[in-house]
């Protein structure tokens, strides 16, 4: 078994549930009411990522520009994503966690990471779905010129 398969097997044993991986080695787990997926990052399967959709377009429609803009802002520097990344895949925005080392990962730590990630995905999904916080503020600062005392750089 690979380190990833061992980590998933330990988690399944600890939780008393069956977890299986598909041919692509991706597995789905329901965590706190949300389905999250696990995927190894390379063929050695020594590390993996957790990911989940946080916004999906309606069939035949594109994601609204406002939603995409919010996702880009949240993704900047990873502050709002706890170091994760929001990416676009097909018609969905996907939150992915930073790489997790599978070797020696105990079931309790694994379960805790899954729970934190699931809750983060829920928070981000809610923020992306909420309407903007009112009209955009207009900057009324005058254009810097020599006449109004500003120095233009």
Q: What is the pLDDT of residues 24-39, one digit of tens each?
A: 899 999 998 899 999 9
pLDDT at 144 > cutoff 70: no
Q: For residue 42, is it within any domain?
A: yes
HSE-CB of 2 using CA atoms within 13 angstroms: 17
Domain that holds residue 60: 3-129
Q: For residue 18, is it within any domain?
A: yes
Q: For residue 40, is it within any domain?
A: yes
- Position 152 scores a pLDDT of 42
Question: What gap in Å lies between CA 33 and CA 87, rounded to an integer?
Answer: 22
Q: For residue 147, is it within any domain?
A: no
Q: For residue 73, is it within any domain?
A: yes
Q: For residue 12, is it within any domain?
A: yes
Residue that has been written with the tokens 């502050």 in this structure: 79
Average pLDDT of the chain is 87
pTM above 0.85, yes or no: no
pLDDT at 107 > cutoff 60: yes
- Position 18 scores a pLDDT of 87
Q: Rg (Cα) of the chain, in Å, rounded? A: 21
pLDDT in tens, 52-76: 999 999 888 889 999 999 999 999 8
Total domain count, the chain: 1
Q: For residue 143, is it within any domain?
A: no
104: left (phi over 0), alpha (psi -120 to 50) or beta: left
Q: For residue 89, is it within any domain?
A: yes
Cα–chain center distance at 139 = 32
């Amino acid at each position: 078994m690979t380190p990833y398969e061992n980590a998933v097997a330990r988690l399944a044993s600890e939780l008393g549930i069956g977890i299986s991986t598909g041919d692509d080695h991706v597995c789905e787990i329901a965590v706190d009411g949300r389905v999250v997926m696990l995927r190894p990052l390379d063929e050695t399967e020594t590390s993996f990522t957790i990911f989940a959709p946080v916004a999906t377009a309606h069939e035949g429609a594109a994601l609204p520009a406002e939603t995409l803009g919010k996702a880009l802002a949240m993704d900047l520097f990873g502050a709002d994503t706890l170091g994760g990344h929001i990416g676009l895949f097909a018609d969905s925005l996907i939150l992915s966690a930073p790489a997790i080392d599978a070797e020696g990962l105990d079931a309790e730590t694994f379960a805790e990471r899954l729970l934190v990630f699931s809750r983060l995905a829920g928070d981000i999904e809610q923020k992306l779905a909420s309407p903007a916080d009112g009209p955009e503020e207009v900057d009324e600062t005058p254009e810097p010129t020599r006449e109004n005392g500003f120095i233009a750089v």
